[in-house]
Amino acid sequence: MNELDRVTILVVDDEELNREMLQVMLADLDVTVHLACNGKDAADQLSAHPETDLILLDLEMPIMDGFELLEMLRWHATLRDIPVIVITAGRSEVTRTLSLGARDFLTKPYDREELTLRVMNLVRTKKLTDMISDLNNSLEMEVARKTADLRAALEFSRDAEYEITLRLGRAAEFRDLETGMHIRRISEMSSELAELAGLSAQDCETLRYASPLHDVGKVGIPDRILLKPARLDDKEMHIMRLHTTIGGMILGEADRYPVLQAGGIIALQHHEKWDGSGYPDGLAGRDIHIFGRIVMIVDVFDALMSVRPYKPAFPLEQVLAIMEKDRGVFFDPELYDLFVAHVEKFTAIRDRLQDSSNELEPLFEFARLSEVGFNVT
Amino acid sequence: MCITAAPVLPVFDADDLLARIGGRSELIPRFLELFRNGVARQREELAAAVSSGDADAVRIAAHAVKGSAANISALRVHDIAANIEKNAIEGHINAAVTQIPDLHEELDRFDRCSREQFP
């Protein structure tokens, strides 16, 4: 009788004889029996034992009778699922009790076998209902857990994409004379200027992670050119400029990866100039993607503000004076004006993300004046 | 003897009781005691109901006697209690009241008879 394990039955009758007879007859079923002598007492017992599986209910009782208890149970949020067998001394009340929600009835005198069979039938049904309800609850919990896992996995994959772009950016930076902090400053500054230009929060975020990739194509430029300690000749300059095209190729065909795709656009277009004199495609004005136009401004600004093997750090006034001449030539004039109007935001980023002293010292020993496309003198 | 000739119903059908409780005869004295205790109270309630002329109280008390009698296999008590209840339900309070002495008589008879069998 495994299915009757841990079965709890509430017997409700005002006559002690009836209660005790039922208790004796149920004893063989190995169930826990609670006793109540009226409806009120039964309600208290059910509060104390909400796990009750079945109620055996007499109808005529003082204080609160069986009909009242049935009515109360019918509207109860949880107790209404407990099946009730009504005990009657005649068939006259059967219809009324069944219409009040009783599942079955039993007439006096009690017969042990009949009682056992009726009780077992209902208890089995109750246990199955409980099992299904438990199963539903655990399935719901499982679905919630899986959904959370999925969300976490999605977040992880997005983080992974960001992480890859940052590290790819760092890889390129080791081929160049730029510092790790330069990459991070470009990232922050690009995002800042994008926000000033009214780009969506998502685009700003994309740009924050894509802009470090602007020079990734430098991994394809030979050392003799990249690290040449002298001015590049025309042929070398032509090869050097290929870093834009190479970056576009490295990051191309990335429709499914918005950050890599943006990185590809930036790598390809960050040397395009507003007047069409840039490279590799000579794009002009708004034909240059706004990401490219933004990175062009902050990249030049940060380079001018920084120490390089071939130049000292210029003070802000001098930097702005140099850049002003290229407003509308190199730079998108509207973006440039926004940049200048909020230049303190960009100097604050520089203050926050300063170069560590000797990060690239060994490289500096080899490198001399390898200006790349932007002549500061 | 506990079985009278004229009405067919036995006063105390101990075999029926024994069969319904799975042959556990050791429980019968305890059940008889509980029956007697309960019935003593029900008799008082019945008397009070009659003296106040409360038909519904008569019905309730008779109903309780009927149920207990059925459970203890006091078949004749059950029969008379059922009749009283029926009359009370139908509003025949006088008919119900006239049967009450018979009920007391049968209850006493059951008491003697059951004590003989289960001293």
Query: Which of A58, A90, A112 faces B20 most closely, judged by CB atoms?
Result: A112
**Assigned token pair, B89:** 């339900």
Are A17 and B60 inside 8 Å of each other by CB? no
Q: Is any Cβ of chain A less than 8 angstroms from the Cβ of B87? A: no
Name the residue of chain B whose CA is nearest to A115's CA: B20
Between CA A153 and CA B99 the distance in angstroms is 84
| pLDDT band with cut points at 50, 70 and 90 for residue B7 | low
Q: Which residues pair with residue A55 across a beta bridge?
A: A10, A84
Question: In chain A, which residue's Cα lies nearest the Cα of B61?
Answer: A60
Alpha-carbon dihedral angle through residues A15, A21, A27, A32, given to the nearest 10 degrees: -10
B57 touches chain A (CB under 8 A): no
Give the CA count within 13 Å in the CB-facing half-sphere of A316.
9
To the nearest whole angstrom, how far is the Cα of A136 from the nearest Cα of chain B? 41
Q: Residues of A with CB below 8 A from B24's CB?
A: 24
- In the DSSP assignment, the letter for residue A153 is H
> Cα separation of A199 and A299, whole Å?
19
Q: Could you give the strand order of the β-sheet that contains A54-58, starting from the edge strand earlier in sequence?
A: A32-36, A8-12, A54-58, A84-88, A104-107
Structure tokens at A211: 């802009």
Q: Is B73 on the interface with A (CB under 8 A)?
A: yes
Residues in chain A, how many? 377
Task: Enter the tokens of residue A75.
Answer: 């509207």
Task: Please tell me the distance from the alpha carbon of residue B52 to that of residue A287, in angstroms, as a whole number.
Answer: 107
Contact residues, chain A, for B70 at CB < 8 Å: 89, 108-109
Nearest by CB to residue A15, choosing from B17, B68, B82, is B68
CA-based nearest residue in chain B for residue A114:
B20
| Cβ of residue B27 closer than 8 Å to a chain A Cβ | yes
Contact residues on chain A for B63, CB-CB shorter than 8 A: 60, 89
> Phi-psi category of A63—alpha, beta or left, where left has phi over 0 and alpha has psi -120 to 50?
left
Q: Phi/psi at B7 (nearest 5 deg)?
A: -75, 145
Q: What's the CA dihedral at A183, A185, A191, A196 to 10 degrees?
A: -150
In tens digits, chain A (377 residues) has pLDDT values of: 344 468 999 999 998 999 999 998 898 888 999 999 999 999 999 999 999 999 999 988 888 888 899 999 988 888 888 999 998 877 777 888 888 888 888 888 888 888 999 999 999 988 888 888 889 989 999 999 999 999 999 889 888 887 888 788 777 777 666 666 888 899 999 999 999 999 999 999 999 989 989 989 988 888 888 877 778 899 999 999 999 999 999 998 888 888 889 999 999 999 999 999 999 999 999 999 999 999 999 999 999 998 876 678 899 999 999 999 999 999 999 999 999 999 999 999 999 988 765 555 545 544 434 444 444 33
CB contact under 8 A, A17 and B66: no
The secondary structure element, H or E, covering residue A256 is none
Which of helix, strand or coil describes residue A229?
A: coil
Nearest to B71 among A60, A90, A109 (CB): A109
Altogether, the residues listed in chain B come to a count of: 119
- Chain B interface mutation, best of A18, A59, A106, highest count of B Cβ atoms under 10 Å: A18
CB contact under 8 A, A20 and B67: no
The pTM (predicted TM-score) of the whole model is: 0.56
**Closest residue to A111, CB basis, from B20, B67, B72:** B20
Q: Quick one: tokens of A158?
A: 């997005």
